[in-house]
Amino acid sequence: MPDMAQGEARGRFAGAPVARLATVDPEGRPHLVPVVFAVRGDEIVTAVDGKPKRSRRLRRLRNIAVSPAVCLLADEYDDDWDRLWWVRADGGARILPPDTPGAPDVRDESGEYAAAIELLRQKYPRYERQPPDGPVIVITVLHWRGWQASAAADD
């Protein structure tokens, strides 16, 4: 049951279609949600998109504002257990507000918000037609950790 090298772990994570984002609320309770994402080196970006939500004031955003330590998990399940793998990315998160033209107090002069949205658009065809317009979460990964059931898991 070999561990993965960090480069392989990063690559498998980047290729996964979905991950689970874990945050912690102010009382120390975990909160877990599925997210779509894109990877840029040792950064992961995800955004609040237009899918229906109970509120635009999401718990994940409130949790990150209080405690920026997060964890993401991507995995592959297969009935052939020799093909199982998972990758965890541990890091710190920060929130970029939407790039609102004409509002200098929230305008992203560095272009970081637009670059994150473009990464997501490149990975997900749906975002080409309907890009996210909510806050972007940027996670700086401090540690990639991966496991695979066998060395031949991707054959």
> Per the domain annotation, does 153 fall within a domain?
no
> Per the domain annotation, does 80 fall within a domain?
yes
| Element (DSSP H or E) covering residue 120 | helix 112-123
> Per the domain annotation, does 19 fall within a domain?
yes
What domain range is 104 assigned to? 6-148
> Per the domain annotation, does 154 fall within a domain?
no
Question: Residue 103 has what pLDDT?
Answer: 45
> Per the domain annotation, does 12 fall within a domain?
yes
Residue 45 sits in a domain whose CATH number is 2.30.110.10
> Per the domain annotation, does 142 fall within a domain?
yes
- What is the residue-averaged pLDDT of the chain? 89
Residue percentage of the chain with pLDDT more than 90: 78
Question: Residue 48 has what pLDDT?
Answer: 93
Residue 52 to residues 19, 44, 48, 55, 68, Cα–Cα distance (Å): 19, 23, 10, 9, 25
* Domains of the chain: total: 1
Q: What is the pLDDT of residues 78-136, one digit of tens each?
A: 999 998 999 999 999 999 998 655 445 555 667 999 999 999 999 999 999 999 999 99
